[in-house]
Structure 1
Amino acid sequence: MAELILIRHAQASFGAADYDVLSARGHRQSAALGLALKAHGTAPTACYRGDMRRHRETLDGIIDGLGIAPAPQVLPGLDEFDFRAVLDARFGDDLPPGLHDDRKTHFRALRETVRMWQRDEIAGVPERFEAFRTRVLAAVDAMTEAGGDSVVAVSSGGPIAFIVATLLDAPPSTMVELQLQMKNCAVTRVVFTARRRFLHTFNETPHIDAETMAEYLTYS
């Protein structure tokens, strides 16, 4: 069977004016993951990433650690949904204090907001859930039908969580529960044939052990 290795991006810049930039720790995480994948014998035959800066920077670090990999292909279907815009659309002019810069406030609001978005209950969002669903599944089709035996793809928590929920035949509401527990640089493995796909592992962190946990274990 072939393997699709889905990787959530490394730590970005939560609370900053531009979230779509890796932190210094995020750069270290991605390089450490590349080294760990190399130590486990990973030799990708194809590489993909979303069209976001944090995806590109994460994959660059992973490739540095691996030492060699095929030239990455960009799949915008792997991009995260615009969670900030969805939150803003829900709350309008009545944003809760700390919505975009306090982690507890942000993630508490995000859980219910994502479920409202999935039920198409929020007007004015830049992307409806059905469009998100369609593009993510199209990206999976593109990666698994291209013929690679070991495919590495860097994406974000939302798309990866949706893929996992779909493979488990779970309701869409499961997506946000998976998304909120996903670690930065976590690895999710999907094995596939020409006809079928199976979830193999979820939320692995091969670059983290007892000594490196304080440095590399992050969630946003």
Structure 2
Amino acid sequence: MSTITLIRHGQASFGKSDYDQLSDIGYDQARRLGVALAEREESIDTVFIGGMLRHRQTAETCLESMGLDLPLQVLPDFSEFNHEHILEKSEPRYRDREWIIQQAMQQSVRPEEVFMQMFKASITRWVDGQHEQDYDETWPQFQQRVKSGLDTVAALLNQSQHALVFTSGGCISVIAQALLELNNSATFRTNWTLANCGLTRIAQSARHRNLMSLNEYGHFSGRHHSLLTFR
């Protein structure tokens, strides 16, 4: 039986002009994850990454901490959905940070909370299927793409091999949805709870694929608790 461990990337750079890069905390998370994985003394045979810079940065930092020198195989199927495109179709003003700050002041909340309200509303619009013509990639297309990526990894693994896949929360949620038969609402409730650099493990045999763990983040407990983030 082979094992596929899905790893959500470290914290990205929210609020920066280029979101697709790790924050300082994101790098610390990736280093801590590497130490924790090394302590497990598990054999790692191959490593895959999605097509985002934050996936590569997380993988490179994690593997360096593990003391592993393995090539990173890029599988674009494990890239996250385009949240900026989805937001723009629902709320064109989202890029205007001053507008977000004004909304936050009116509601007496942080700008991040206003953004999350917009984000959740935009995701609901994307998923409901009534505006598919607006999007470069529909929700069903995204689901199929991610599941195809998992099939690709499974096909490349020999029995008893172990692969790490560095990806994003949306991709992990879609895989959990398929394996646990979740509806869309439950899938996104799961997505909101996924920790940066959390682990999700799948056992793969010739006939079965089972979700063995979802969103492990015990490596951020105790004195490492300050590294636990979800956005």
* TM-score greater than 0.5 by the shorter chain: yes
Instruction: Count the aligned residue pairs.
Output: 218
- Compute the displacement of 1:106 (Å): 2.0
Give the match for residue 71 of structure 1.
71
Unaligned 5+ runs, structure 1 = none
2:91–2:118 Cα contact (<8 Å) kept: no
Return the match for 1:156 from 152, 168, 184.
168
Query: Higher Cα Rg: structure 1 or 2?
Result: 2
1:219 aligned partner: 230
Give the 3-state SS of the residue equivalent to 2:200 in structure 1. Answer: strand
Which of the numbers 103, 121, 125 marks the counterpart of 1:116? 125
Task: Determine if contact 1:162/1:172 at 8 Å carries over to the other structure.
Answer: no
> Residue deviations 1:79-124, cap 9 Å, x none?
110112101101235889429x932122223233223212223352
Using the alignment, how far apart are the partners of 1:106 and 1:217 within structure 2?
20
Distance 1:95 1:25 in 2: 24
Which residue in 1 is equivalent to 2:49? 49
Q: Say whether residues 1:102 and 2:111 are aligned partners.
A: yes
Distance 1:157 1:73 in 2: 19
Show structure 2 runs of 5+ residues with no match.
104-109
Name the structure where helix makes up a greater proportion of residues. 2
Moved more, 175-184 or 54-63: 175-184
Aligned residue number for residue 207 of structure 1: 219
Question: Is residue 145 from structure 1 mapped to residue 155 from structure 2 by the alignment?
Answer: yes
| Local SS of the residue matching 1:199 | strand
One-letter code of the match for 1:20?
Answer: D
SS at match of 1:70: coil
Structure 1: distance between partners of 2:202 and 2:220: 21
Identity of aligned residues (%): 28
> Structure 1: which 4+ aligned runs deviate by more than 6 Å?
none
2:138 matched residue in structure 1: 128
Would you say the 8 A contact 1:188–1:203 is kept in 2? yes
Write the letter of the residue equivalent to 1:4.
I
Distance in 1 (alpha carbons) for counterparts of 2:47 and 2:196: 18
**Quick one: which amino acid aligns to residue 23 of structure 2?**
S
Superposed CA deviations along residues 116-136 of structure 1, whole A, max 9, x for unmatched, are 212223352221112211210
Question: Could you tell me the TM-score, scaled by structure 2's length?
Answer: 0.88
